[in-house]
Structure 1
Amino acid sequence: MIGIMINKKEAEELIYLLKREMDELLMDFSDERINVVVKYAMEERYHLLFSLFKRIAPPNECIPYIRKSKYNDDILKINS
């Protein structure tokens, strides 16, 4: 485990960056031109970013970014 000490201003900047990146991924999930396998990798990245986000953001800011993993089900269908 790695610890990090940041001040309030740095935490706000991290929250902003994580929100921006997660918003970009959420927008890309609706793009039909992106392959399901690529979306699966995007889903893994989203979960990593969200786990970082929920550690530093207030709970009321986390709620809009909670999502069900739709593309994991698609991958299971392809691999079956």
Structure 2
Amino acid sequence: MLGMLLNENECKEMAYVLRKELDEMLFDLSDQRLNNDIRQAIDKRYKTIFKMYARFAPQKELAKYVRSARYPQAEN
């Protein structure tokens, strides 16, 4: 396990970067042209980034990025 000390401004910036990355991955996962292997890789990365974002974001903000039927899970 690694740790980081961030000031308030850096926390806001980190949350912004993670949020934008989650948005981009949700967009990619909604693209039906991607093959299943790529979708699985994006899904795995999404889960990791989501866990990181959960450490910064309030519950209300976090709810926006919970996967739903609108963005189907990658098939295993």
TM-score for the superposition, normalised by structure 1: 0.84
Please name the residue that 1:78 is paired with.
none
| Counterpart residue type for residue 54 of structure 2 | K
Once the two structures are superposed, residues 17-73 of structure 1 have per-residue CA deviations (whole angstroms, 9 ceiling, x without a partner) of 0010110010111111100110000000000100000011111110010115621xx
SS of the aligned residue for 1:56 comes to coil
Identical residues among aligned pairs (%): 36
Given candidates 57, 68, 73, the residue that maps to 1:70 is 73
| Counterpart residue type for residue 28 of structure 1 | D
| Counterpart residue type for residue 57 of structure 2 | A
| Counterpart residue type for residue 70 of structure 1 | Q
SS of the aligned residue for 1:27 comes to helix
Moved over 2 A (4+): none
Please name the residue that 1:38 is paired with.
38
Please name the residue that 1:16 is paired with.
16
SS of the aligned residue for 2:55 comes to helix
Name the CA distance, whole Å, in 1 between partners of 2:38 and 2:3: 31
Q: In structure 2, list runs of 5 or more residues that go unmatched.
A: none
Name the CA distance, whole Å, in 1 between partners of 2:73 and 2:2: 31
